[in-house]
Structure 1
Amino acid sequence: MMRMRTAARGATVGLAIASVALLTACGTSGGSGSGGGEAAEELGEMEGQVSILAWPGYVEDGSNDPEVDWVTPFEEDTGCEVTVKTFGTSDEAVNLMKTGEYDVVSASGDATLRLIAAGDVAPVNTDLIPNYANIYDFLKEKEWNSVDGVPYGVPHGYGANLLMYNTTVFPEAPTSWDVVFDKAGDYTGKVTAYDSPIYIADAAVYLMAHQPELGIENPYALDEEQFQAAVDLLKEQRAHVGEYWSDYLKEIQAFTTGDSVVGTTWQVIQNVLASEGATTDVVLPEEGATGWSDTWMISSDAKNPNCAYAWLDYIASPEANATATAYFGEAPSSDEACEYRDDCEAYHAGDADYASQIWYWTTPIEDCVDGRTDVQCVDYAAWTEAWQEIKG
């Protein structure tokens, strides 16, 4: 079984409000007000060490499993000794990066813009990262990992938040998210949903298709009316949700026992259930889905910038990226990486049409990320407050 995240990737109640406030003030306009420092122009001698802040399963050195180690080859090739600290939520990562103790961080889209606006991460010079050239174009220079076309990191792995269903309850695969929203009453108590404020975007994706009069163009750019519509939809759904999940083991158990029959999931969870003979399957519904694209970013106060750049290049190399993303349970960042994996098809790796249906997690801010300037959008602090109201 592949190792997977053991804690919620989304934010928790302990949101760093000050960070969001700063993000709102800075916006995403680029220039000297966004991000910290300047991108390196050239590399120097390796410092001999690098401190990495990462999701569990992203930096394995054999200490958890002697058979799983992609850190040692990096250390041997570069002379950079790796120390790693793992985190459980994006909020935790944002707060830890403020300490200046880490050279590199693996950040999800619900953290990246906060890190950029707070000046905690620096732009990267991709000319100094040879393996950047092979990364899928649909992951590069996006609103969650760049500002005004300036990249702030290297894409790692990505995936979609899919719809899982019990094949006994659903002899025919559902084609819409309506089974967890407008038709959720048919499965009261057996609907499951991801436990994070970012799940509000899932409701917004559904409303984009079913209430076009709301004018939602991006599920992370919601004005007050659009945001309230998404919140109201989730409050209606609440009566039918048996469990909100963040621990993948709990979702596996719930679908195994039949306590849950339909809801949000990840491809890797379906892979585990399938290997255990469970009567489940997954689908990317016709409305599309939210998802994640993680980014390796360098601290603006990095004490070991040369080793940091070396890590970004190494982890984007085909074999290392293939090993890390397979272990974690997500699509790799390049076709070359798929040469070292036999499951890329299951993850739709490199399928640009499939990827275009995914709305990758992006930090909601007042400066609407859909480009509107005539309204203010609801920021992430308000999303967090609303999420607590939704769950009750």
Structure 2
Amino acid sequence: MRKRTTSAWRSAAAVCALLLTAAGCGSDDDGKAAHAPDKLGKGEGKVNIIAWAGYAEDGSNDPRADWVHPFEKKTGCKVDTKTAGTSDEMVSLMKTGQYDTVSASGDATLRLIASGDAAPVNTKLVPNYKDIFPALKQQPFNSKGGRMYGIPHGRGANLLMYRTDKVKPAPDSWRAVFDDAAAHQGRVTAYDSPIYIADAALYLKHAKPSLGIKNPYALDEKQLDAAVTLLKKQHRAIGEYWSDYQKEITAFKGGDSVIGTTWQVIANLTQAEKAPVKAVLPKEGATGWSDTWMVSAKAEHPNCAYKWLDWIVSPKVNAQVAEYFGEAPANRKACAETSDPNHCAVFHADDEKYFQRVHFWTTPIKRCLDGRKNTTCTDYAQWTRAWTEVKG
């Protein structure tokens, strides 16, 4: 499961390259010389993949979860998977040029586009792309200049989970983990990543409209300072920050955590462990993720990479991954292939009204993503430094 958590230099470009390696500098460069192929050739016999745990299963973790070996048998492309623990790790690995494709979340995609490490994709070479939910196409986190830079894989929301026996009345706002966090001193939990700053910004958008926050990923310095101040206040009530889903399940089951951010799959597994928890989408909405399979601009095995992209979003395989990982599939035909007929309903796969309330992770860049023209926004490198400051 994912753990998500960013004189010697002769030019600004060199400094930017350094920042991109560490955390992302938020450049607006358009993928440099990267380009999409016009046609595919014969498979190269191999594909090197960077993936979240659970996305490229070969049966070694669970014999019932294996969509790698069938792919190898069908295509002749042997899969070599590197499991990454964070988006920052994915960005760093892609820079090595040793990998062909990556299952990047929105807090990594724009960095990969800006640095030229990801190439635009020719969606005509991915037949199953036509069945991807329209709302996942041409989004700010997976496209640029009208070109898709990947194939959508799946999506989910970051929810508010609480112990029903410890937190009363039932919360319906993120206020419970921010302004009211002290009510559960030492037993509040939060996602351990700089991108969590967007959760605070989303709450402030509603709690303090005078700040003028329109997009939780487009924060000027004043808005970022307000989010950091709120997170520092919350920090005093935090028991632990989580990135390992198993640790969060254990914490809620044992009562060490009673309220905090979570994913639907974690809530489901915690309930399966007989812990009295419930997860809700608060009235302010929520942040969330939409993952995208991107192709390296330096891919040594581009033909096998494209075959993988089409395979992983094919209806049956996309359904398998969505159920194993716990998310909404990207292919609308996958809902008819899930072993649990209620899976897509539970994860709101085709509920666009639900996802209109979800602000998908997007890499913060200096060009304000909310449309402001005469303002410079803070980028991911600044968010990374701010997150370090929050945690002390």
The question of a shared fold, defined as TM-score above 0.5 by the shorter chain, is answered with: yes
Is contact 1:218–1:370 with CA below 8 Å preserved after alignment?
yes
Structure 1 residue matching 2:365: 3-state secondary structure: coil
The aligned residue for residue 28 of structure 2 is 27
Runs of 4+ in 1 over 3 A off after TM superposition: 20-26
Deviates more, 1:291-300 or 1:324-333: 324-333
For residues 102-140 of structure 1, give each alpha carbon's deviation from its aligned partner in whole angstroms, at most 9, with x where no partner exists: 111111111111111111110001111111111111111
- The question of 1:54 aligning with 2:51 is answered yes
Q: How far apart are 1:66 and its partner, in Å?
A: 2.5
Distance 1:10 1:364 in 2: 15
Consecutive unaligned residues of structure 2, counting only runs of 5 or more, are 7-15
- The question of 1:350 aligning with 2:350 is answered yes
Using a 3 Å threshold, how does the CA distance of structure 1 residues 162 and 22 change in structure 2: closer, same or farther? Answer: closer
Deviates more, 1:223-232 or 1:82-91: 82-91
Distance 1:189 1:172 in 2: 19
For residues 359-386 of structure 1, give each alpha carbon's deviation from its aligned partner in whole angstroms, at most 9, with x where no partner exists: 1111111111222221111111111111
The aligned residue for residue 78 of structure 1 is 75
| Amino acid paired to 1:102 | Y
The aligned residue for residue 361 of structure 2 is 361
Q: How far apart are 1:186 and its partner, in Å?
A: 1.4
Is contact 2:152–2:293 with CA below 8 Å preserved after alignment?
yes
Using a 3 Å threshold, how does the CA distance of structure 1 residues 171 and 26 change in structure 2: closer, same or farther? Answer: closer
Using a 3 Å threshold, how does the CA distance of structure 1 residues 64 and 21 change in structure 2: closer, same or farther? Answer: closer
Is contact 1:16–1:91 with CA below 8 Å preserved after alignment?
no
Q: How far apart are 1:252 and its partner, in Å?
A: 0.9
Structure 2 residue matching 1:10: 3-state secondary structure: coil
The aligned residue for residue 312 of structure 1 is 309
Is contact 2:90–2:104 with CA below 8 Å preserved after alignment?
yes
Is contact 1:20–1:114 with CA below 8 Å preserved after alignment?
no
* Counterpart pick for 2:224 among 208, 224, 227: 227
Structure 2 residue matching 1:345: 3-state secondary structure: helix
Structure 2 residue matching 1:216: 3-state secondary structure: coil
* Counterpart pick for 2:155 among 155, 158, 175: 158
Is contact 2:188–2:239 with CA below 8 Å preserved after alignment?
yes
Distance 1:195 1:36 in 2: 34
The aligned residue for residue 206 of structure 2 is 209
The aligned residue for residue 102 of structure 1 is 99
Distance 2:156 2:33 in 1: 29
Q: How far apart are 1:231 and its partner, in Å?
A: 0.6
Q: How far apart are 1:73 and its partner, in Å?
A: 1.4
* CA-based RMSD: 1.8
1:289-308, aligned counterparts within 5 Å?
289-308=286-305
Is contact 2:24–2:381 with CA below 8 Å preserved after alignment?
no
Q: Percent identity?
A: 59
The aligned residue for residue 9 of structure 1 is 4
For residues 164-187 of structure 1, give each alpha carbon's deviation from its aligned partner in whole angstroms, at most 9, with x where no partner exists: 011112354311111111111211
Using a 3 Å threshold, how does the CA distance of structure 1 residues 344 and 24 change in structure 2: closer, same or farther? Answer: same
| TM-score, normalisation: structure 1 | 0.93
Q: How far apart are 1:63 and its partner, in Å?
A: 2.5
- The question of 1:196 aligning with 2:193 is answered yes
For residues 267-311 of structure 1, give each alpha carbon's deviation from its aligned partner in whole angstroms, at most 9, with x where no partner exists: 111111111211000000000111111110111111111111111
Is contact 1:36–1:120 with CA below 8 Å preserved after alignment?
no
Using a 3 Å threshold, how does the CA distance of structure 1 residues 114 and 233 change in structure 2: closer, same or farther? Answer: same
The aligned residue for residue 390 of structure 1 is 390
Structure 2 residue matching 1:161: 3-state secondary structure: strand
Is contact 1:35–1:122 with CA below 8 Å preserved after alignment?
no
* Counterpart pick for 1:132 among 126, 129, 134: 129
The number of equivalent residue pairs is: 380
Distance 2:246 2:62 in 1: 19
The aligned residue for residue 370 of structure 1 is 370
Is contact 1:35–1:123 with CA below 8 Å preserved after alignment?
no
| TM-score, normalisation: structure 2 | 0.93
Is contact 2:100–2:302 with CA below 8 Å preserved after alignment?
yes
Is contact 2:177–2:188 with CA below 8 Å preserved after alignment?
yes
Structure 2 residue matching 1:255: 3-state secondary structure: helix
For residues 228-272 of structure 1, give each alpha carbon's deviation from its aligned partner in whole angstroms, at most 9, with x where no partner exists: 111111111111111111111221111111111111011111111
For residues 46-100 of structure 1, give each alpha carbon's deviation from its aligned partner in whole angstroms, at most 9, with x where no partner exists: 2222111111111111233322210111112212111111111111111111111
Structure 2 residue matching 1:232: 3-state secondary structure: helix
The aligned residue for residue 9 of structure 2 is none
Consecutive unaligned residues of structure 1, counting only runs of 5 or more, are none
Structure 1 residue matching 2:202: 3-state secondary structure: helix
Distance 2:352 2:104 in 1: 22
Distance 1:315 1:154 in 2: 10
Using a 3 Å threshold, how does the CA distance of structure 1 residues 258 and 25 change in structure 2: closer, same or farther? Answer: closer
Is contact 1:54–1:84 with CA below 8 Å preserved after alignment?
yes
Structure 1 residue matching 2:329: 3-state secondary structure: coil
Q: How far apart are 1:9 and its partner, in Å?
A: 1.1
Using a 3 Å threshold, how does the CA distance of structure 1 residues 20 and 51 change in structure 2: closer, same or farther? Answer: closer
| Amino acid paired to 2:4 | R
- The question of 1:323 aligning with 2:320 is answered yes
* Counterpart pick for 1:167 among 150, 161, 164: 164
- The question of 1:149 aligning with 2:150 is answered no
- The question of 1:380 aligning with 2:380 is answered yes
Distance 2:70 2:21 in 1: 38
Structure 1 residue matching 2:155: 3-state secondary structure: strand
Distance 2:207 2:185 in 1: 21
Is contact 2:211–2:223 with CA below 8 Å preserved after alignment?
yes
The aligned residue for residue 278 of structure 1 is 275
Distance 2:79 2:241 in 1: 36
